[in-house]
Amino acid sequence: MSNTSDSELRQKALKIASRHSGEKLTYRIKCKAKYEYRRFLGGSRFHRPASGSDFNLSAFESPKNTYSESRQDCFVIEMTTGSALSHYLEIGSGPPIIKNNTYLLESKFGWDGLSLDFNPNFVREFQFARRNPVVHADATNFDYLHTLEKLGFPEDIGYLQIDIDPSYQSLIALFQIPFHKFRFATITFEHDLYRSNSRVAKISRQKLQAEGYRLVVMNVLAAKGKPFEDWWVHPDLVSPERYRGLISNRINPSRLFDR
């Protein structure tokens, strides 16, 4: 267990951000290029989940039952089924349907939610294709508390996604979340360990552990040898029976903070 204070963790996150700030422009250029290429191809089909995922959810064996890149939406549904939790906060929404973690929640299960993205192209697509609202905003500098209260979000929320490129921005956004006011049954946090500073993963784990969350699946694989994301639950909102069988064998709680 780490004794590092929240303010110290925040300062470490800001230091990483300042050190790697030049990556931000590069990612924006790449994102624009990918968007234009996808437009040139003229749409897309269901995205098949990556074969490198650490586990398989039996209730969602068919790839047509997921819209996510690595079955994040299935994880959320499995963890929250039977509860009254039906709201999400999606930070870094990306495309509105394919490779999106909340489209299944909204379209098939009737969830309400709020999405944020910095890419205006994705925001326009989202506004056209989705029922729930999306905000064109910088997720690292956004008033989540005021916005969620204004929208009438409950204090217990089903799902929080944080997925911004480059990953240090996900880390900064994590420290903007009003955990003192809201709890999330499930969280997926993209740290892009395979291509990013390992301290992004380390600090995010320290932060979420301190907020009372349990790391269920560590270093989900986007492809073989490419760990990119951690999946968390709040033990007060998700019963152990639901997540016990999914805990990655690679999770060693005594070593979470010395990586």
**Domain assignment of residue 125, yes or no:** yes
Residues 220-248 have pLDDT tens digits of 877 777 888 999 999 999 999 898 877 76
Residue 251 has pLDDT above 90, yes or no: no
Give every CB contact of residue 202 below 8 A, 6+ residues apart in sequence: 257, 259
Question: Which range of residues forms the domain containing residue 150?
Answer: 6-255
User: What percent of the chain stands above pLDDT 90?
Assistant: 53
> What pLDDT sits at residue 1?
45
CA dist 221 and 239 (Å) reads: 25
What is the rounded average pLDDT of the residues 116-132?
94
Q: What is the pLDDT of residue 24?
A: 53
DSSP state of 9: H
Q: Is 101 left (phi over 0), alpha (psi -120 to 50) or beta?
A: alpha
Does the predicted model carry a pTM greater than 0.85?
no
pLDDT band at 20 (very low <50, low <70, confident <90, very high): low
pLDDT: which is higher, 63 or 70: 70
pLDDT of residue 34: 54
- Please compute the mean of the pLDDT values over residues 30-40 and round it to a whole number: 53
User: Do residues 133 and 108 touch, judged by C-beta distance below 8 A?
Assistant: no
Total structural domains within the chain: 1
pLDDT at 254 over 70: no
**Torsion on CA atoms 14, 18, 20, 24, rounded to nearest 10:** 90
Residue 52 has pLDDT above 60, yes or no: no
* Tokens 């420290």, located at residue: 175
Query: From its phi and psi, is residue 121 left (phi > 0), alpha (psi between -120 and 50) or beta?
Result: alpha
DSSP 60: G
The CATH number of residue 189's host domain is 3.40.50.150
DSSP calls for 158-218: EEEEE--SSHHHHHHHHTTS-TTT-EEEEEEEE--TTTS-HHHHHHHHHHHHHTT-EEEEE
Q: Which of the four pLDDT bands, split at 50, 70 and 90, describes residue 86?
A: very high
pLDDT bin (cut points 50, 70, 90) of residue 38 is: low
Q: Is there a domain that residue 1 lies in? A: no
The Cβ-side half-sphere exposure at 14, using a 13 Å CA radius, reads: 9
Encode pLDDT of 142-180 as tens digits: 999 999 999 999 999 999 999 998 888 999 999 999 999
Q: How many CB atoms lie within 10 A of CB 259?
A: 11
User: Does residue 61 surpass a pLDDT of 60?
Assistant: no
Cβ 17 vs Cβ 168: under 8 Å: yes
Cα–Cα distance for residue pair 5/206, rounded to 1 Å: 10
Whole-number pLDDT of residue 30: 56
pLDDT of residue 54 exceeding 90, the answer is: no
pLDDT at 76 over 90: yes
Q: Tokens 């709201």 map to which residue?
A: 87
